[in-house]
């Protein structure tokens, strides 16, 4: 029996049907977020696609348009995220329809794959690297999400480690509570142009990274549906700041946490970066936060974060594909990626 198949944008399907499919394949929190804010997250519903089989939704994926700073040039790219097929449609070769769609969409595609997806991408000729690190500062070890979730022997081991780390964490919170910043300060209502100017002044010295102009800051942070959860910090002279840090306070399963979403400026100025991180951690301590998370893709950022107490680490994978040989080579080199990139900050 022949089936009719089609890849369509989500604005071409019934909202209730889409919502039901998202709840089926994603967690409730992520499905609700995509139903309410997917248009913002992906810069328009035209960047969200469904695979229809005989008119029924069989799969979903999406892209997030972006620009990269590659050797001083502004280069368009797409983050490819959330590829999923309903269980009954897997193994039928239908994913190739999404593959064909993404190949037609842009020359440069990027992603942060899990272990299984990384293997699949390698088979399809994508570049994959596994030398990036997500780092966690356990301000209250017994409340760290991964420890509270762990079960069995691993859970017992992690809980024992949390008990062992408790006195150290108490001293750490005390020290951060007394921290006096050098030039770092928190700002309430940042102008996107101010943040963009910091990036523009440093762009010739930065490794490969997301291109951040005023439009990027307005969309990604100031227009975010969770704008009230964001905190903004600057460092450097008040008339000409040299660095910024953007963090997000979140509560998941009653676990208060802070995510460092973006940290950019003169990456050679470790004192200013340390100042910003320390002030943001001090604020986290004052709010009773259990953990602070940071994506570190440069060795110097990892080393600095470790000196501040970011001892828990996990591997983060990165993948890309392009027909441009120079772009492929550039993505093998130094890159500064943050939790604000791709869908790293999406609900779980």
Q: 3-state class of 145 per DSSP?
A: helix
Q: What is the pLDDT of residues 7-57, one digit of tens each?
A: 999 999 999 999 999 999 999 999 999 999 999 999 999 999 999 999 999
The domains found in the chain, sorted by start residue, are 5-106 (3.40.630.30), 134-318 (3.40.630.30)
Question: 113: closest CA among 342, 296, 317, 314?
Answer: 317
Question: 229: closest CA among 266, 195, 261?
Answer: 261
Q: What is the pTM of this model?
A: 0.94
Question: 323: closest CA among 74, 71, 103?
Answer: 103
Q: What is the pLDDT of residues 100-150, one digit of tens each?
A: 888 888 899 999 999 988 998 898 889 999 999 999 999 998 888 877 777
Task: Average the pLDDT over 199-207 and give the result.
Answer: 94
Q: What is the pLDDT of residues 246-302, one digit of tens each?
A: 999 999 888 899 999 999 999 999 999 999 999 999 999 999 999 999 999 999 999
């Amino acid at each position: 029996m022949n089936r009719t198949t089609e890849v369509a944008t989500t604005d071409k399907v019934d909202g209730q049907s889409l919502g039901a499919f998202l709840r089926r394949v994603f967690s409730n929190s992520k499905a609700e977020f995509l139903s309410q804010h997917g248009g913002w997250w992906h810069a328009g519903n035209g960047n969200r696609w469904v695979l229809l089989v005989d008119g029924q939704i069989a799969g979903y994926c999406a892209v997030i348009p972006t620009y990269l700073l590659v050797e001083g040039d502004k280069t368009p790219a797409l983050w490819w995220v959330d590829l999923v097929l309903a269980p009954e449609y897997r193994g039928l070769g239908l994913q190739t329809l999404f593959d064909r769609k993404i190949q037609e969409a842009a020359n440069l595609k990027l992603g942060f794959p899990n272990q299984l997806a990384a293997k699949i991408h390698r088979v399809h000729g994508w570049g994959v690297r596994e030398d990036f690190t997500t780092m966690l500062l356990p301000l209250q070890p017994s409340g760290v999400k991964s420890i509270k979730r762990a079960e069995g022997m691993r859970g017992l081991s992690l809980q024992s480690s949390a008990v062992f780390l408790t006195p150290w964490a108490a001293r750490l919170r005390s020290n951060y509570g007394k921290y006096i910043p050098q030039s770092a300060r928190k700002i309430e209502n940042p102008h996107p142009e101010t943040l963009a100017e910091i990036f523009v002044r440093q762009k010739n010295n930065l490794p490969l990274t997301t291109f951040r102009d005023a439009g990027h800051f307005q969309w990604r942070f100031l227009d975010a549906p969770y704008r009230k959860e964001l905190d903004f910090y600057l460092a450097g002279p008040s008339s000409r700041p040299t660095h910024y840090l953007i963090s997000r306070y979140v509560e998941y399963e009653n676990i208060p946490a802070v995510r460092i979403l973006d940290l950019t400026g003169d990456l050679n100025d470790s004192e200013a970066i340390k100042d910003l991180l320390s002030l943001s951690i001090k604020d986290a301590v004052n709010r009773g936060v259990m953990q602070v998370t940071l994506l570190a893709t440069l060795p110097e950022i990892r080393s600095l974060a470790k000196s501040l107490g970011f001892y828990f680490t996990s591997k983060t994978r990165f993948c890309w594909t392009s027909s441009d040989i120079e772009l492929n080579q550039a993505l093998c080199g130094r890159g500064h990626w943050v939790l604000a990139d791709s869908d790293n900050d999406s609900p779980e």
